[in-house]
Amino acid sequence: MKILQISQKIPFPPLDGGSIVINSLTSGLLKEGHTVKMLCMVSPKRAIDANTISSDYRASVNLETVEVDTQLKIFPALKNLFFQKESYHTSRFRSTKFAEKLKQILTNESFDIIQMESIFVSGYLEIIKKYTTAKIVLRTQNVEHIIWEGITKNEKNPFKKWYLRIMTRRLSHYEIEQFQKMNAIIPITEVDAAITKKYIQNNIKINAIPFGFAVKKMQSKHTKVPIKSGTIFHLGSMDWFPNLEAVRWLLEEVWEPFDLDQKTTLYLAGKFMPSDILNMGNKNLVVESTITDPVGYMSDKEIMIVPLLSGSGIRVKIIEGMALGKIVISTTLGAKGINCEHGKNILIADTPQEFYEAILLCIEHPERCESIRKEAQILANEKYNEGLITGRFLRFYEELMER
């Protein structure tokens, strides 16, 4: 089987959740003997010199890249607001050069499956349908307009709220319209699948398939590191707004009001960490920006916190943390889409008081959390194994091609 994956970013090295999700499937397909080609955008925000990427990876996926400036800019945003109707979230990913490269690839090669790795690259559907008869699959790591509905709801500034409401409405219209044009959609969770099905009117196959990774390999490499007892951490890219919103809430509503710096050390890390948070660092609040080895970063810490207030999809870092035997404390929303259970393999907290009590429980009564840690590892091993997930994708592709 030959698959073309189209992404708005190069998913290598797989450092953030989105890249991990894409790369893990690519890896699984290659291990099963299938052919994968990767076409990716390279934006100034994620300025990766494709020539610095390992030659093995470039060769294995026959990597092709196109520079596309997807940065948020004030004047184009205002022009979009007052003179255009398309969502600015998605219009930033339109590129003549990218369209030409895609056309060239489809003219010279044939594929069984073309998989778009987000709604942001779905603007090239007309070209795909014109130059190939391959089945077109949209893989959604989030239902994007659901995320922005949450962000809009939580926004306090009246002007920003007004603007976000307009942008979210446009994004919702665009996303739902694109759903109708696919042969199939693969949401990353059953929750997102249920939401997507509400918008589908034609005969489009929808199958929720989570991500998978080499769990045993990760565990063998990173679970023998000495743990800093009682330490808590959050790891996530700060250019994804829900992560930034979550970290600010954690600091303002939990860390400072409950004087947790007197009881433990909090580690915060993620790309694009704002300078005001970086400058807050001290001996009990350790703040870093870019982490070159996210799994290694997590390995010597004990308690993972995921205080998401808005978002969709699945939190990849939670699954990785579970695989490493971390005790995870998350909001209900943060854990959504993961087949977990409060008190069994995760701790759920939705208010500052609940977060404080959960953290205190882990620090002062670690023996009571030991079973949670072990059950979390079992969940990661049984549900998110790379081979298992790759098999589900392949069976779905085969069913789709028979139609």
Sign of the dihedral through C-alpha 171, 177, 179, 182:
negative
Q: Which amino acid is at 114?
A: I
Quick: pLDDT tens for 122-146.
Answer: 999 999 999 999 999 999 999 999 9
Q: Which amino acid is at 138?
A: L
Backbone angles phi, psi at 379, to 5 degrees: -60, -45
Rounded Cα distance between 75 and 189, Å, is: 36
40 Cα distance to chain centroid: 16
Q: Locate CATH 3.40.50.2000 in the chain.
A: 2-212+385-401, 215-383
Q: Are 388 and 334 in contact (CB under 8 A)?
A: no
pTM of the model: 0.85
Q: Which alpha helices (DSSP H) does 207-351 contain, by range?
A: 215-222, 241-249, 275-278, 294-299, 316-323
Rounded Cα distance between 247 and 32, Å, is: 39
* 2-212+385-401 CATH, one of 3.30.70.2860, 3.40.50.2000, 3.40.50.720, 3.40.50.1110: 3.40.50.2000
Q: What is the pLDDT of residue 217?
A: 81
Return the CATH architecture of domain 215-383. 3-Layer(aba) Sandwich (3.40)
Quick: pLDDT tens for 146-193.
Answer: 988 988 998 989 999 999 999 999 999 999 999 999 999 999 999 999
Q: Are 288 and 236 in contact (CB under 8 A)?
A: no
Among the listed residues 322, 321, 363, the one whose alpha carbon sits nearest the alpha carbon of residue 344: 322
3-state per-residue secondary structure call for 344-401: CCEEECCCHHHHHHHHHHHHHCHHHHHHHHHHHHHHHHHHCEHHHHHHHHHHHHHHHH
List, run by run, the mean pLDDT of 10-residue segments along the chain (403 residues): 95 85 93 96 71 83 93 84 86 95 97 97 96 97 90 91 93 95 95 92 89 84 84 93 95 96 95 94 92 91 95 88 95 93 96 97 91 94 91 96 86
Q: What is the pLDDT of residue 74?
A: 84
Q: Which alpha helices (DSSP H) does 285-343 contain, by range?
A: 294-299, 316-323
